[in-house]
Structure 1
Amino acid sequence: MLRQCQREEYGTILALIQPVITRWTAHYCSATRLLETMKALQVCAVRHETEMLESVGSAKSEERKLGKEVFRTIRDPDFWSQLLIMQISLRPLAVAANITQEADTHLDDVLIAMCNLYYAYSHRNDIPKEICAVAQDSLCTRWSKVDHDPFIGTIYVNPLYRYHLFNPNEPGLRPMSLYIILKRLFLRFFPEDQFRAGEFMQANAMYADAKGPFSDENMFVQELLEQRRGGAGAITLAQIWANLAAGPVSGVQQYAKLAYRLVSIVPTSAGCERLFSKMGISHTKLRNRLTTPAACKIVQLQMNLRLMHLRDGVNAPRSDHQRGSNATAESDTQPEDSGEEADTRSVIADLIEDVDADQDVPDEDEATTSAGGDTTNSQSCTQRLPRIVFRWTREITLANIFDYDCLGGEKLVWKRARSFWAVGVANLKTEMTEYCLAEVNSEPAGSG
């Protein structure tokens, strides 16, 4: 009956979507589809209420009472107005989830998505203030619990943004302060390398000004923009920084080495899940003579060939989902040439040593009192490997990390950042279409 009403009202059949409790996107799609079918549901309730109630059971049965409650809800205009508010409130979360669940999402994408969420819940008049306040508090709490340096550093080393996305009134986000963040990250990621502070600072100044090896031409900014607009190309940020990181040790080389590490971080498990799915297809009960390493290598070869074919335009993408560019991120599943299996006991021992070292760091008072102490203890301390202890001097909150007044404007760098959000909106529409296709494919032949 509902399908017949939909054909009369819309000329097609729209599938109702049952939300999954763990996915914001499914809740948004469910509310959106319910609003799209509102007129057909109301027409169906007016025409077939008696007939449908008689089909569920006797007049005093629980099913009949539940059916009457459903029809009262369909006729209630307040229900539809509240559902519309919920759908509008969930839309930014659904778009952000669609962006951050991609297999090639990086730390800068996550932080920019959080920025767009914070902006949406602070500048939207069609979302209730109570919901906006809760959403902003939740975002700020999430941001306060993460390690800020990698996220900020990844945005900074993206030549499409550099430092121009950050709030110019925040002293901790200016080029000199960003140098301190990158210095901390380099010492954390590469503690055994000899840090060339002067050359690294000079490289940071050249990168901030887009000069020398970090000019827009050498960083392939035009090519990256064409890819983001849907043009052909196969260059990635990781490849650009890897090219600069090759060569003798210098400030530029160390700067590029750190940037390559940052842009290679993938904070989602989508790529690993895709690898596990491929392994499940290749290594089955009928084809079970392959060893696990052999199956892993075969699957990695398949995935690498698929990436090459996508870049060359030989194969079409698996779905209509778009990314910021046509170039696919490099696979993080490359086999190690001489890798050894990790020893759990050694990892635990290293963690214990780290905890002991952090607990052994003396306070200022203890350091002054022990300055004239036993020389043997001081000698043993100097023989220990140096450990870096990071102390937060000032927290950069989500409210002051970006210049939100320029987010909705015509500033070029924000146009580039907003392109990812527009792609997320387009992918969300594609997902709604896929729900309809799945319903059509599952519909039995000849069903009306």
Structure 2
Amino acid sequence: MAVEKSFKQSKLEVFKGLDIPFNGAQIEAIQAQFLRATQSANLPERWTTDAEVLKLFMMFRSRAGDVIPSRRQLGGSLLKNASDSIDAEIAEAIFGQDVLMCNDGWRSNAKDAVGGVSVTHKFKTILLDLIRTNALSKDGESMARQFAAMIDDAEAKWSCNVIGFLTDNDAGSKKGRKNLGLARAWLLLFPCCSHQGQLILAEYLRENPKAAQIMEELIEIVNWLNSKDKVREIFDQTQMTLAGKILAYILPNLTRWTTHLIAALRFDSLKNPIRHAVLNKRDEIIAAHIGAESNQRKRAEMREVALAHCAMLEPNAWWDELEKIIPDLEHICYLTNIAQSDHVRPDQFLLALAGLFLHFAGFSARVLAEDRALGNRMCARIEKRFKELDQPVFVLALVLNPFQKLSRFGDMANIDQFVLSTELISLYKRVKSRLPSTPRTPGEQLLHDTTQKKAMQSLSAAFLQYLSGTGPFASWENPEIQETYVELNGNNPIPFWEMRRTNGLVAELANFSLMLLYLVVNQAGLERSFSDFSNKKNKKRNRLGLVKMAQQSKVTRHLRDKQYEEGLAEKRDGRQNHSEDQVKLLLAVPRYAEALLSDTDDSDTDTTERISVVVRSKAAWRRQMAKWQEELQEAEMVDTDEDKEDSEDELPSTIPVASAAPRPRRPRAWLPMPLTKLFGGKIARPIGNPARRPRVVSEEALYMELLAAEHSGEEPDAGAQEGSGDDFEG
């Protein structure tokens, strides 16, 4: 018998506490209360979309008031516990790791001078401490002591290994950094490279009076437009009529590093509507500028000001000068954009600096003598900036980028594998020269010296194999492997070396390469912390202490990083100030072709020909090897007598041993070297991708493999037995 539908029990739908829906009246009331709360607390409108706020609301119940913490709890125990938890994660992440320490200053709205101390580890900036520096001396010796104390405190508290120190390049910091290097020779010391673009921009405006005048006039015009509403309205309406939209007039500001370029580009893009307004609405512009002023003398003065601005904007000559300086500004600002990235590596900054140098070096081909003189002066300025850097770090980082190797160096660099190997070993010894906290016993010192020499032998052998593309690096010469790598990792050299850390033959080189390539030679991360401090310690919270502010900043940064990892927040895309086509040309450093060395033993070679960075014959190999041995022998003569005895006992026969002859003067090192020699020269083929190595094994590869095998003690493979170590003539 069928049951009537009306007798069936309807399904009872039950909601859990968090799932109970809101009715229309509740939605309106809650949204109205959100508006009142936002305005009452002076919160930004985006606070309701913050991921952590949404999580918080999802935890609420009807008795939420019972669990909402007080202001004292939020700023006290809860904040301290969260900060301590983050500190524990930091300690675990950098325990025993190499880090680069940064120091910079910040002044709060309470007029307190604050020194920030942070470290970077694998491109991540970690704030360690804030120090009130009002009463601290700023002379070089005092700064050096303060820097040393920062390093010692960080290493004692966090058990990390500070391998480098980075500061601003003001007088006190520069002198303090120099004194610190004299006391602790193992440290890698850097000025902040992101500030170099700002300083080069200031130098460009100083060396180019016309550019300085154009920018001053541009600032004057933009201030005029932005301060006179009626005048700006005339120009805005002309924009709308001709272009269909209204763009703002941007004011250049030297402390905002790229605004000179952005302001110039914006004003240049508005050339047509601005000139159209000046030519067709001059009387309206003058009347709008004068306004309701009744004083005749002031009216006359205001009329002269308006006429002067119109006369400046009307002729093409002013716009031509503006257009002429834009490429220079764009190159400088592109360097600045690269240098202030959180992930900029030393090799990237070196290429950017070299590209800027080559841009101004190209002025030598210009017709006007003043342009050629400007190019010479700017090249000298950039050379001075490069001279202040720790050049071996930057040059070797470029060489250890497998996508670059030696391809960027010009024919004037006089570079070869052996010169670079010597520089690599020298830098390695410097970094490893740090003395232990407690003196070693004679036995421990002997073991340490033996271990380090074996490590240097392994490092040198692996480096020569890397440059020649043999041994563990032979597969990289396969174009298909490189293409697959680029598809997965782009042109990032970090994974290339990370994958080789487990190979015992090249592990020492891989670890040393990663140490250099992970260096972030700017203070961008610390500067972002300062920006966060300015938001937290504002006029209404100017009593906020340094300890609490540091805790808040750590928690904020930690939450933001977690949100990025979980996909709850999106990083804001960078501004696109350069077109894609222009980016390919900006700061371009050509790849130089490899010229041939003579294949004969005849010493009467033409010295005007380019010297190759690749050895292609036995005769050339012997010449290069003899030269390298001579340089190594001269360098070894400056070591102690104990080192000489150890070298005779332990080094392979292929490594020259210093004799007991009187100690000569140290030969001039290859580095430092000016940019004009490193990257100067003629291009033997069009700029573009470097020519692929032939997939067959060349004579050069065989000889490089032989030398590497003799360094490492490994047996040569079947293809390398002819002309083996027994037949080798040093």
Same fold (TM over 0.5): yes
Give the equivalent residue in structure 1 for 2:405.
Answer: 162
Separation (CA, whole Å) in 1 of partners of 2:296 and 2:264: 31
Within 5 A, what are the aligned runs for 1:309-348? 316-320=570-574
Residue 280 of structure 1, CA deviation:
6.8
TM-score by length of 2: 0.41
Give the equivalent residue in structure 2 for 1:387.
Answer: none
Separation (CA, whole Å) in 2 of partners of 1:402 and 1:119: 8
Q: Within the alignment, does 1:60 sit opposite 2:297 as a pair?
A: yes
The partner residue of 2:245 within 9, 12, 16 is 12
Q: Within the alignment, does 1:189 sit opposite 2:431 as a pair?
A: yes
Residue 158 of structure 1, CA deviation:
0.8
Give the equivalent residue in structure 2 for 1:264.
Answer: 518
Q: Within the alignment, does 1:210 sit opposite 2:469 as a pair?
A: yes
Q: Within the alignment, does 1:176 sit opposite 2:418 as a pair?
A: yes
Residue 89 of structure 1, CA deviation:
2.7
Q: Within the alignment, does 1:93 sit opposite 2:93 as a pair?
A: no
Separation (CA, whole Å) in 2 of partners of 1:238 and 1:78: 49
Cα gap change, 1:405/1:227 in structure 2, threshold over 3 Å: closer, same or farther?
farther
Q: Which has the higher contact order (CA 8 A, sep 6+)?
A: 1
Cα gap change, 1:218/1:77 in structure 2, threshold over 3 Å: closer, same or farther?
closer
Separation (CA, whole Å) in 2 of partners of 1:280 and 1:205: 50
Residue aligned with 2:327, SS: helix
Separation (CA, whole Å) in 1 of partners of 2:324 and 2:246: 25
Query: Is the contact between residue 564 and residue 570 of structure 2 (CA under 8 Å) also seen in structure 1?
Result: no
Query: Is the contact between residue 412 and residue 679 of structure 2 (CA under 8 Å) also seen in structure 1?
Result: no
Give the letter for the 2:297 counterpart: K
Separation (CA, whole Å) in 2 of partners of 1:236 and 1:300: 25
Query: Is the contact between residue 165 and residue 414 of structure 1 (CA under 8 Å) also seen in structure 2?
Result: no
Separation (CA, whole Å) in 2 of partners of 1:176 and 1:302: 49
Give the equivalent residue in structure 2 for 1:120.
Answer: 359
Separation (CA, whole Å) in 1 of partners of 2:548 and 2:472: 46
Q: Within the alignment, does 1:21 sit opposite 2:254 as a pair?
A: yes
Aligned length: 342
Q: Within the alignment, does 1:393 sit opposite 2:647 as a pair?
A: no
* Cα root mean square deviation, aligned: 4.0
Give the letter for the 2:389 counterpart: V
Instruction: Please give the per-residue CA displacement for 1:243-285, whole angstroms capped at 9, x wherever unaligned.
Output: 53458xx662221221111001111222223345457778996
Separation (CA, whole Å) in 2 of partners of 1:308 and 1:115: 35
Q: Within the alignment, does 1:305 sit opposite 2:562 as a pair?
A: yes
Separation (CA, whole Å) in 2 of partners of 1:114 and 1:252: 30
Give the letter for the 2:509 counterpart: Y
Separation (CA, whole Å) in 1 of partners of 2:372 and 2:399: 33
Give the letter for the 1:74 counterpart: L
Query: Is the contact between residue 167 and residue 401 of structure 1 (CA under 8 Å) also seen in structure 2?
Result: yes
Give the letter for the 1:26 counterpart: T
Between structures 1 and 2, the one with greater strand share: 2
Cα gap change, 1:222/1:316 in structure 2, threshold over 3 Å: closer, same or farther?
farther
Separation (CA, whole Å) in 2 of partners of 1:212 and 1:309: 41
Separation (CA, whole Å) in 1 of partners of 2:690 and 2:426: 26
Separation (CA, whole Å) in 1 of partners of 2:258 and 2:537: 32
Residue 5 of structure 1, CA deviation:
0.5
Residue aligned with 1:161, SS: coil
Identity percentage of aligned residues: 18
Separation (CA, whole Å) in 2 of partners of 1:182 and 1:216: 23
Separation (CA, whole Å) in 1 of partners of 2:402 and 2:563: 28
Instruction: Please give the per-residue CA displacement for 1:19-47, whole angstroms capped at 9, x wherever unaligned.
Output: 01235521122222222212211221233
Instruction: Please give the per-residue CA displacement for 1:269-309, whole angstroms capped at 9, x wherever unaligned.
Output: 222233454577789969x8995675455345335435545
Residue 93 of structure 1, CA deviation:
1.2
Query: Is the contact between residue 45 and residue 74 of structure 1 (CA under 8 Å) also seen in structure 2?
Result: yes
Residue 105 of structure 1, CA deviation:
1.0
Give the letter for the 1:94 counterpart: C
Separation (CA, whole Å) in 2 of partners of 1:169 and 1:72: 50
Residue 145 of structure 1, CA deviation:
2.4
Query: Is the contact between residue 238 and residue 276 of structure 2 (CA under 8 Å) also seen in structure 1?
Result: yes
Structure 1: which 5+ residue stretches go unaligned?
Answer: 230-234, 325-363, 368-389, 416-448
The structure number with the bigger radius of gyration is: 2
The partner residue of 2:686 within 409, 419, 435 is 409
Q: Within the alignment, does 1:83 sit opposite 2:316 as a pair?
A: no
Give the letter for the 1:188 counterpart: R
Cα gap change, 1:142/1:28 in structure 2, threshold over 3 Å: closer, same or farther?
same
Query: Is the contact between residue 175 and residue 208 of structure 1 (CA under 8 Å) also seen in structure 2?
Result: yes
Within 5 A, what are the aligned runs for 1:422-441? none
Give the equivalent residue in structure 2 for 1:40.
Answer: 273
Residue 189 of structure 1, CA deviation:
1.8
Separation (CA, whole Å) in 1 of partners of 2:400 and 2:355: 20
Give the equivalent residue in structure 2 for 1:346.
Answer: none
Q: Within the alignment, does 1:135 sit opposite 2:378 as a pair?
A: yes
Separation (CA, whole Å) in 2 of partners of 1:296 and 1:134: 43
Give the letter for the 1:302 counterpart: L
Residue aligned with 1:141, SS: helix
Separation (CA, whole Å) in 2 of partners of 1:16 and 1:404: 42
Query: Is the contact between residue 179 and residue 204 of structure 1 (CA under 8 Å) also seen in structure 2?
Result: yes
Separation (CA, whole Å) in 1 of partners of 2:273 and 2:296: 26
TM-score by length of 1: 0.65
Residue aligned with 2:409, SS: coil
